[in-house]
Structure 1
Amino acid sequence: MAHSVEPSSSLSFTSSSRLSNGSVSHNVCASHCPDLGPNLEAISLSKLSSNLEQLLDDSDCDYSDADIIVEGTPVVVHRCILASRSKFFHELFKREKGPQEKEGKLKYLMSDFLPYGKVGYEAFLIFLRYVYTGKLKPSPMEVSTCVDNVCAHDACRPAINFAVELMYASSIFQMPDLVLLFQRRLLNFVGKAFVEDVIPILIVAFHCQLSQLVTECIERVARSDLDYVSIDKEIPPELSEKIKLLRHSAQHDVEDNASLVDPLHQKRITRIHKALDSDDVELVKLLLSESDITLDEANALHYAAAYCDPKLFSEVLNLGLTNVNLRNSRGYTVLHIAAMRKEPSIIVSLLKKGALASELTLHGQSAVSISRRLTRPKDYHAKTEQGKETNKDRMCIDLLEREMLRNPMSGDASMSFQITGDDLQRKLQYLENRVALAILFFPAEAKVAMDIAEAETKGSGGNFREVDLNETPIMQNKRLVSKVEALMKTVETGRRYFPHCSEVLDKFMEDELPDLCYLEKGSQEEQRMKTTRYMELKDNVQKAFNKDKANFCHSGISPSSSSSSLNNNLVHGKARKV
């Protein structure tokens, strides 16, 4: 009797053959069909890869047994898969269980895995998908490109940083195949990138013990014009010494020794830099008085803009002993360095002192193009919740773009005025309320304006109107005038560099703000009228802001995302006095 063969799919892993005893032998198709075997294996692996990928993508099939918290966001994982693919996770799960969560899952923090470097959320997802599927997905554009429209994104800082994060993950989690892949990718960056962007590649190569990549980076830095100060500050000592030795050997046979630095001269410059590191402006002044070295010769502003606290930078700038548009040996102005640092308060300080945003580097970059080339679309387009700080990357770009478009202003606006008595008190109250509103609506922008104006951190902190019995009327008036001047300076700085925020504040301050702050007081009719008027005011302010935003977009500028909405808590009858 013939044995019937069960229907099968078009691709089967077995074939049937009749033996002498009449039975059917089921042999692996690959052994009888050598041409089909590799294809079946590839198809099987592809199906397995797709099935495992569903574990990451299908929320209805959540069989995960652990979470790894990356940048505050939990990422679900399956320990059996990670342990089978990574020796690191195999050893980790074998020796420790991890903190238990309410739902029974184990919880791990990414930061606990990293002895150095950083692995962001998007980079870990790319790595995790490779662990599950064996396939490397393209890098997400929002985190691996910059917002510079003319950049090819083949060697900008976000592209490099994302590859560096993936290299860290591949090395720490012991995935050698991925390490080799990203080493090739980073080698491709070395020859294209600006030398300052090679430094993160050199550091990851050093920590991951990638000798070929380390050698390539060292040679690239040694051939560049990167100054020794930056080399010492940003590169591990054992690597910086190799760079210096390589440079010295390359320059040993150079006949022209005129460029050699005088040791005593360099020693005095180093002392100034160390004084800056110590936040000691008085020591800087003393060192200047004891030698003929100037702050410009020491590139003190460049150094402070790159490595020092913003408040110290302001103190050095306010000495008035430097040229704010001075170029260093690499052709960078202080504003270029500030754009690399991405610190809004330093940028505003320089602009107020006359720094030119239109100055270009030797590579043809302005400060705003430098800032754009360092900023990821994810950060630039991120929406900031009301009352939370604006992303500094976006703020730097906005500041520099506005400065490029606005009409130049000659010097600082004069803050001097002659007011006394009740006028002074009213002026103080108005300014305190306005600055307090700025802190409420636009905290990041307000902080920058206050830092530049050397105002109190809390804007209206302390009661400057209370009477000290040991203080004469003249002293009290002088103290109040000083406070008013600081607040006026804060407001003027905000109007100059954050015009759309200032427009919103002006709308609030110009209307019946004191009355509207007490929506719950008065008769029911009065409360109803106040609430209606408050809603009208808020609507008018929002329309004004949208109009301002449209004007910025029309000119190629988008206002700060933190200014996109008003404080909704004030709308629901709970407005409070500032």
Structure 2
Amino acid sequence: MSSEDSLKSLSLDYLNLLINGQAFSDVAFSVEGRLVHAHRCVLAARSLFFRKLFCGLDPSHQPPPPTAGGRAPDLVIPVSSIRYEVLVLVLQFLYSGQASVAAPKSGPLPGCGARGCWHTRCGAAVDLALDTLAAARSFGVEQLALLVQKQLEAMVKEASVDDVMKVLMASRKFEMQELWAACSHLVARSGLSADLLAKHLPIDVVAKIEEIRAKSPGGAAAAGGAGPRSPFLTHHYLPINAASSAADREHRIRRMRRALDAADIELVKLMVMGEGLDLDDALAVHYAVQHCGRDVVKALLELGAADVNSRAGPAGKTALHLAAEMVSPDMVSVLLDHHADPNARTLDGVTPLDVLRSLTSEFLFKGAVPGLTHIEPNKLRLCLELVQSAVMVATRDDGGAHGDAGGGGSDGGSFPRGGDAADDSLVSLTMNSTLMYQGQEMAAALAGDARKGSGGGRGSPSSLYFPNGFA
């Protein structure tokens, strides 16, 4: 047997000692409600941190009582600073001298929900590597830190742009020059502007990246996107086959949705610019309308990378159809302000106005709307008025475009003919309807108080809910 084979055998024997758990164990670590058994002599021999820890123990320490499962360890150390997977990797290295944070794993990894992901370049794998790097430095296991650095250098070549930035900052914190150089050059070739980088990185780091761009072939042209570009700029995942490509797409969509849930529009912008994320394919506007607030939808549309009139689902609904079904004046108004088409039709020929009219009929004649547990009549009225106003403006605009100069219909010059003027008219109508909605809420509250005080009778449902009728 060669000396190399002997070392491999020794490494495997020690690793089996760790895997066997309670065999000859005299210490255990309690992390996330789980016990990880180990051996003080091995840890003390491999790490100065653990040697000092065990030498400084209280001599009067009494071991815990044995459990029903057998002999209890002499010492149980609670660990809260690192997670279970990181501790296992650190111990694995201390016992065997080997550890891999990027080894292919078909099983689940906390933080990654992509089905079939091998965790070699996903965000969860990068986070695990960074946590292991921090733990290695804390425990004084420098060899493990260097090993993780090498593995991170390989991972960032195919990682997402936000993950590369995380690794960049970690390399700066731990003063790892080779990792810093790899990440900074990738970011420099990404084509992301200095202003955008400054929102995610310290100013001095952005300045270093700009220096790299200036020194690269092509200088400013390379910074603007004409020079060599990183593989993660347009499609940072390399599709090996259709299954892996589909899994990568699902992973990007989940990351986008988490960013929208956290109102992190800058991260969405990074994904669009740095990873080539297609917001329409990911149904970003539809998701934001259903799950986020008005400000998020507004900021998302202002990126200019999403089509507000894109269709989704088997019915071919636009985001405005969803906002109408939700009876959300906020969503309806922000979509119309960003040129949502009020005349868009589903595959069945249904427009957003048809949706609202159907909901109104259900509410007036049945007193409830199927699928909506609670509906505010003033919101329903406002949604209807907003969409009706938008339809009128769009109709008049189309009529002006196709009619002669003198013919304007029976309404004369009530609505402007030009596109810009039509947009201004729509914004004005939206603002007026919003103010009307707020005034109606106050009036309804005052009228309710008056009815309680006078004991007056109730009117008909239509007069109570919509006192001015429908246009």
In the superposition, the TM-score normalised over structure 1's length comes to 0.39
